[in-house]
Amino acid sequence: YKSQKDAVWMLKTNGGGICDHEVGAGKTLIMCVAAYEMKRLGLANKPMIIGLKANVFDIADTFRKAYPNAKVLYPGKNDFTKQNRQRIFNDIKNNDWDCIILTHEQFGMIPQSLEVQEAILQKELDSVEENLEVLRQQGVEVSRSMLRGLEKRKENLEVKLKTIADDLTERKDDAVDFKLMGIDHLFVDESHRFKNLLFNTRHSRVSGLGNPDGSQRALNMLFAIRTIQERSGKDLGATFLSGTTISNSLTELYLLFKYLRPQALEKQGINTFDAWAAVFAKKSTDYEFSVTNEIIQKERFRTFIKVPELASFYAEICDYRTAKDIGIDRPEKNEILHNIPPTPEQEVFITKLMEFAKTGNATLLGRAPLSESEEKAKMLIATDYARKMRIKY
């Protein structure tokens, strides 16, 4: 497709970006061609592609068919056992590969540079301390739970930094990490799997922002991308490919920029989510139905502001295509909605489920009382039971 050529050209010209194409639009070939072209033109010396375990064979097969003479490293699962891991890390480091293809899980096993980890976590700690200071100055306007949440986060970051400092002291001379491997461009297939990146915010009462603590998988990705950006002195250094780049949270757009455009954000004076939201998002309170079918007030960021500027900032690094844009021939979808009323048994269970969602009383569902961690996730438990209920009854 012409769209594939256009996407490869954009990625080569920018040094990375976002390929937001619908499923079936040929993102696999885009990755392979862009990686090889970057290598051929000297834009990257050692590109790496990571994908889902179910897809990496197809990625490697596509690459070999497109470039039969390319020097490609595609390790098997046995190469990443504890006994063989160091050997494969040295293979990546010591050879001039045209491309390295790994699963997301294999990529997660690669140690990240301790210095890069320390710098990123220290920056996060500084941001938390700044937020704490602002909240303490506000005094009575701030809830104790909000302060407690930030203080807990500060403690966690301090523990992580202490662990990294200890690891730096005890590091062996022959240890191989991502930085020493020399990877200078990272292609991330199904990049939405890494969307839960940590961020700091004082808007703890605002719904729909996601989990500010993020996941270790996403943090690991940030370490790797910052390593590449530190080497090049520029933004990007990575290409995200997904059909669902942004799905259900306003923070996801900010976090894409945090990954890929940190210097561009800094030039705009944006170092945190709150600073970004103050420029591009508007908060409001409105009435909504809760999961227990009650009408409650919810505060959310409901609208974007400065949309032309925000869209332009995104479009500078993104190639967006739908199946219709590309001209893929697909049959029209004919949807028919069937509304099936609940059975008497379901009505009884729904009543119990609503009461559980309000009180957290697990005995209503015939299970042991909730633990502290389960108490925090009671709404997830409720929705899981609701999903199972529609199958059982």
- Where in the chain are the domains? 1-111+176-279+305-335, 113-175, 344-390
CB of 302 closer than 8 Å to CB of 209: no
- What pLDDT digit, counting tens, does each position of 307-346 carry? 999 999 999 999 999 888 888 888 888 889 988 888 888 8
d(C-alpha 186, C-alpha 99), whole Å: 10
CB 50 within 8 A of CB 188: yes
Strands (E), the chain: 17-21, 47-51, 72-73, 99-103, 185-189, 238-241, 281-289, 295-304, 318-321
CB-based contact 243:21 (threshold 8 Å): yes
Q: Report the pLDDT value the prediction gives residue 195, as an integer from 0 to 100.
A: 93
Q: Which residue has the tokens 């392979």?
A: 32
Amino acid found at 271: N
Fold type of domain 1-111+176-279+305-335: Rossmann fold (3.40.50)
Task: Quote the CA–CA distance of 180 and 203 in Å, as a whole number.
Answer: 39
Tell me the per-residue pLDDT of 282-308, one tens digit each, with 9 for 90 and over: 888 887 777 666 778 888 888 889 999
Q: 320 CB contacts (<8 Å, ≥6 apart)?
A: 20, 21
What whole-number distance in Å separates Cα of residue 381 and Cα of residue 251? 24
| Residue given tokens 């769209």 in the structure block | 3
- pLDDT of 262 above 70: yes
Mode of pairing for the β-strands spanning 47-51 and 72-73: unpaired
Q: Say if residues 288 and 295 touch (Cβ distance below 8 Å).
A: yes
What does the pLDDT look like over 212-243, one tens digit per residue?
888 999 999 999 999 999 999 999 999 999 98
Query: At 44, phi and psi to the nearest 5?
Result: -145, 145
